[in-house]
Amino acid sequence: MDQQTLFEAAFLGLLEGLTEFLPVSSTGHILLAGHFLGFESEGKVFEVLIQFGAILAILLVYFRRLWTIALTLPSSATSRRFVAGIVLAFLPAAVIGVFAHGFIKTVLFEAPTLICIMLVLGGFVLLWVDRRKTTVRYSDVQDYPLMLALKIGLFQTIAFIPGVSRSGATIAGALLMGTDKRSAAEFSFFLAMPTMGGAFAFDLWLNRNALSGDDLSLIAVGFAVAFVAAIIVVRSLLDFVSRHGFAPFAYWRILVGTLGLIGIYLL
């Protein structure tokens, strides 16, 4: 393992931390960057396991809120409904992720052209949703009805196609069903905790015998950088979205996807 490989791991970790909670597809960015850098990891384990840095970052930022919810579960119907809603929203992705894992990792993750196309298409969809005039019915994630949470979870499953974006799919789904922009982004944060945690644990278990010392070193570097970058993003995203909406991320997706297609076919 040379310094260039460590630099590439740090760069990919930075991409993960900066993009995981933005509606721009962190997986798409990392896979495209790995494709052009020539960075390879067996079964794309590195790309999944460095997400643990982002998981810890959001758990740290939301620790007090999570602790309060946990303490009030026995006495608060609102807390119980919120937790039940997150569980319901998580279940569709959990089921599909287990049964389609092999296809996702060996087929979809190996298709850079598909990733670029989905980045561009997703950008236009996000731009349309952001500009669409709707009546806001839900502005507090703890007041989301259970059926709304489940429907948002169904939208999340679209993100198994790399380039779609897990947060982008959940945010777009929430906005289409009458939430405001800030709570849509926040719900995607909470839903990320079980979804990313489950993906991390499942991939770690499946590849437990394939990891080498060099793999662990690269993952540690990527994890550390992703952790720091994700903390910065999580602490600033909600205020940014409240002021600017999601259009800047839509334009970024279109730009990256277009440049990726140019790079694939012309370079």
Q: How many other C-beta atoms are found inside a 10 Å radius of the C-beta of residue 19?
A: 26
What local confidence, expressed as pLDDT, does residue 133 receive? 85
Distance of alpha carbon 14 from alpha carbon 223, whole angstroms: 9
What local confidence, expressed as pLDDT, does residue 43 receive? 56
pLDDT, one tens digit per residue, over 153-193 is 999 999 999 999 999 999 999 999 999 999 999 999 999 99
The count of domains in the chain is 1
pLDDT, one tens digit per residue, over 237-261 is 989 998 999 999 999 999 999 999 9
What local confidence, expressed as pLDDT, does residue 46 receive? 78
What local confidence, expressed as pLDDT, does residue 41 receive? 67
Distance of alpha carbon 200 from alpha carbon 1, whole angstroms: 24
pLDDT, one tens digit per residue, over 223-232 is 899 999 999 9
Distance of alpha carbon 257 from alpha carbon 253, whole angstroms: 6
The amino acid occupying position 204 is L
Confidence of residue 219 (pLDDT cuts 50, 70, 90): confident
What are the residues facing 138 on neighbouring strands? 179
- Does pLDDT of 74 surpass 90? yes
Provide mean pLDDT across the span 189-217: 81
Under a CB-based contact definition with an 8 Å cutoff, are residues 48 and 260 in contact?
Answer: no
Global pTM value = 0.90
What local confidence, expressed as pLDDT, does residue 39 receive? 78
**What proportion of the chain, given as a percentage, has pLDDT over 90?**
65
Owning domain of residue 134: 3-266
Q: Which long-range contacts (CB under 8 A, 24 or more apart) does 209-215 make?
A: 210/42, 210/43, 210/45, 211/45, 214/1, 215/41, 215/42, 215/45, 215/46
Confidence of residue 1 (pLDDT cuts 50, 70, 90): low
The amino acid occupying position 217 is S
Burial of 104 (0-12, 13-18, 19+ CB in 10 A): middle
Confidence of residue 211 (pLDDT cuts 50, 70, 90): low
Provide mean pLDDT across the span 67-76: 95
pLDDT, one tens digit per residue, over 2-55 is 666 888 889 999 999 999 999 999 889 988 988 888 876 665 677 777 888 898
Under a CB-based contact definition with an 8 Å cutoff, are residues 55 and 200 in contact?
Answer: yes
What local confidence, expressed as pLDDT, does residue 220 receive? 87
